[in-house]
């Protein structure tokens, strides 16, 4: 029997009775295949027994920065038809790219005699020299001297000008007083003397101003000389870093099932960002597929899971499966999966097909509808079927944007629709002033021990993995939610959510994040675990009718 590649891991469990999938995994939205679940369980057992010098945040007594990691398993078949799997991880573990039993990186930037390490040392030397020069006491002294010297010069020259003016006034007085008591000849001699004093003072002022200017120029020249050295080093650093980045991008070359190679630069060239983001190519999925293609292993199915404590900004649950990230991996995997028969992208299917909009309230001015789960509020880039398009067909005479506010595609519940621009403006004004009161009901995947509270977490989009949201105290927008526990049953908690702001995925992140309830909503495919649906429903809304000004309360308890 022909030997398998060194990273090929035969299953410990008997998997002979498990049917293989008909197509390879669509990596951005999937239910892990049974073989992947078994492989992941076996790998997690191995990881638990590893003695890496890496703090995943699972052992409270371990020192060092907490860094959780995404791991991946790729179920493969070798040339002999034997079923097994490959294991990989994203980035580095314990500051190393290579660990026994795991696939290697696509390109090893940590190779000791590689160009990256050599150039990195040069750049580090530049950084050290820049830091030394910027911290030079002489530089700080010059900056301080110039800052205070400027004020001293201005003050001294201003005082000198005041003295000149005072002397001018005094000489004028002398001339006036001498006019009556001196002869014409004596007065003319006095006038000449006083004129000479005036010239003398003017010349003295010019000499002082020139002296100060020379002193200033000398100090500024010395400062400029030091700053020019720093700027030259920064320019060199910028140039070297750019060239290093470009060379790295050229070294990262990816193989696909058709035997075609493409560099990272060429893969990202026609994307919106055009330049690969930092860390592109270091994720588990590209590493796994690259190794399989290089060693003639047939990919069967793939899954990735998180191991360790969740990052402070993101929502990652220990041991839970997650799809590949879109910002870094989608262009790369788009190339690497060519030649494989892959599961269809479910996000290209119309989720609203066969579903109807229930009208909860309607008059000549507005409507309230019950939006089903997996139903767009407004048309998307690919799927146009939505509440907006359905209402537009149903009410062709309506004007304006129609949709007053939105619900996530996966969220069900009450959505307000305006039939005219004026009504739309009036309702939006209520939303902007936060006078509209909304209540959501949600089923959480866990048991809460507190009855109520308020969550306040600033949110922004994850630029590398849209549409996921991150908690970010630097760039995030404020988002607040009040919540109440209704009941706990069978390991789940039913809650009311009262959003005080309306950020994207606000309730989903507030439920799942460790600084929120740390308990994801059942069926949350982004921040929890995929189920039949997202169990989040907008069940009550209270507002003033835009025309009658009557208080309106609309309920939709079907969940």
- Looking at the annotation, which residues are catalytic? 408
Task: Please report the DSSP string for 193-247 in residue order.
Answer: HHHHHHHHHHHHHHHHHHHHHHHHHHHHHHHHHHHHHHHHHHHHHHHHHHHHHHH
CA angle 261–344–347, rounded 5-degree value = 110
Considering just the CA atoms, what is the radius of gyration of the chain in Å? 36
- Token couple for 199: 């010239």
CA 208 to chain centre: 57
- Token couple for 142: 């010059």
H/E run at residue 425: helix 421-432
Q: Cα–Cα distance between 169 and 198 in angstroms, integer?
A: 11
DSSP 342: B
**What is residue 318's three-state secondary structure?**
coil
**What is residue 296's three-state secondary structure?**
coil
| Residue 369 dihedral angles phi and psi, to the nearest 5° | -120, 155
Q: Cα–Cα distance between 140 and 148 in angstroms, integer?
A: 12
Q: Cα–Cα distance between 272 and 278 in angstroms, integer?
A: 15
- Token couple for 490: 């069978």
- Token couple for 472: 């970010």
CB 448 within 8 A of CB 409: no
Q: Cα–Cα distance between 542 and 368 in angstroms, integer?
A: 11
Q: Cα–Cα distance between 415 and 372 in angstroms, integer?
A: 10
CA atoms within 13 A of residue 14's CA, in its CB half-sphere? 1
Q: b vs e for 344-369, b when ≥16 Cβ sit within 10 Å of the residue's Cβ? A: eeeeeebbbeeeebeebeeeebbbbb
Q: Residue 270: is it exposed, middle or buried by C-beta count within 10 angstroms (0-12/13-18/19+)?
A: exposed
CA angle 299–346–35, rounded 5-degree value = 35
């Amino acid at each position: 029997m022909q030997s398998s590649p060194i990273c090929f891991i035969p299953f410990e469990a008997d998997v002979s009775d498990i049917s293989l999938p008909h197509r390879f995994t669509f990596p951005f939205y999937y239910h892990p295949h049974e073989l992947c679940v078994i492989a992941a369980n076996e790998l997690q057992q191995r990881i638990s027994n590893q003695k890496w010098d890496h703090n995943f945040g699972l052992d409270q007594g371990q020192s060092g920065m907490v860094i959780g990691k995404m791991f991946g398993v790729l179920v493969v078949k070798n040339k002999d038809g034997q079923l097994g799997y490959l294991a990989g991880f994203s980035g580095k573990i314990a500051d190393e790219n290579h660990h026994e039993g795991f696939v290697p990186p696509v390109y090893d930037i940590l190779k000791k005699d590689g160009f990256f390490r050599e150039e990195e040392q040069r750049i580090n030397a530049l950084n050290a020299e820049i830091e030394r020069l910027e911290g030079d006491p002489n530089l700080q002294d010059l900056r301080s001297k110039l800052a205070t010297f400027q004020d001293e010069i201005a003050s001294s020259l201003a005082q000198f000008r005041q003295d000149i003016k005072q002397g001018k006034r005094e000489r004028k007085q002398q001339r006036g007083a001498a006019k009556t008591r001196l002869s014409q000849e004596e007065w003319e001699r006095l006038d000449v003397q006083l004129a000479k004093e005036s010239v003398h003072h003017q010349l003295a002022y010019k000499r002082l101003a020139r002296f100060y200017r020379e002193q200033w120029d000398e100090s500024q020249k010395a400062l400029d000389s030091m700053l020019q050295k720093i700027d030259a080093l920064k320019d060199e650093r910028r140039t070297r870093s750019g060239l290093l980045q470009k060379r790295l991008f050229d070294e990262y070359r990816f193989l696909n099932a058709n035997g075609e190679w493409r560099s990272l630069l060429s893969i990202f060239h026609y994307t919106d960002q055009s330049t690969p983001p930092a860390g592109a190519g270091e994720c588990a999925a590209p590493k796994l597929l690259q190794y399989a293609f290089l060693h003639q292993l047939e990919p069967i199915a793939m899954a990735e899971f998180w191991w360790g404590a969740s990052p402070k900004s993101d929502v990652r649950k220990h041991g839970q499966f997650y799809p590949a990230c879109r910002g870094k991996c989608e262009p790369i995997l788009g190339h690497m999966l060519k030649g494989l028969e892959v599961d269809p992208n479910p996000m290209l299917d119309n989720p609203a097909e066969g579903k109807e909009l229930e009208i909860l309230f309607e008059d000549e001015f507005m409507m309230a509808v019950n939006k089903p789960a997996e139903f767009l509020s407004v048309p998307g880039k690919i799927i146009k079927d939505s509440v907006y398009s359905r209402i537009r067909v149903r009410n062709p005479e309506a004007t304006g944007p129609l949709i007053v506010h939105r619900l996530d595609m996966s969220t069900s519940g009450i959505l307000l629709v305006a039939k005219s621009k004026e009504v739309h403006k009036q309702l939006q004004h209520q939303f902007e002033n936060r006078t509209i009161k909304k209540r959501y009901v949600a089923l959480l995947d866990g048991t809460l021990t507190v009855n109520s509270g308020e969550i306040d977490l600033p949110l922004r989009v994850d630029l590398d993995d849209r549409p996921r949201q991150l908690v970010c105290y630097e760039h995030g927008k404020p988002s607040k939610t009040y919540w109440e526990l209704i009941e706990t049953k069978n390991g789940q908690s039913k809650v009311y959510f009262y959003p005080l702001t309306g950020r994207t995925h606000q309730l989903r992140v507030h439920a799942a994040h460790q600084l929120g309830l740390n308990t994801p909503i059942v069926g949350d495919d982004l921040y929890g675990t995929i189920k039949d649906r997202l169990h989040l429903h907008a069940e009550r809304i209270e507002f003033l009718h835009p025309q009658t000004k009557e208080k309106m309360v609309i309920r939709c308890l079907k969940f």
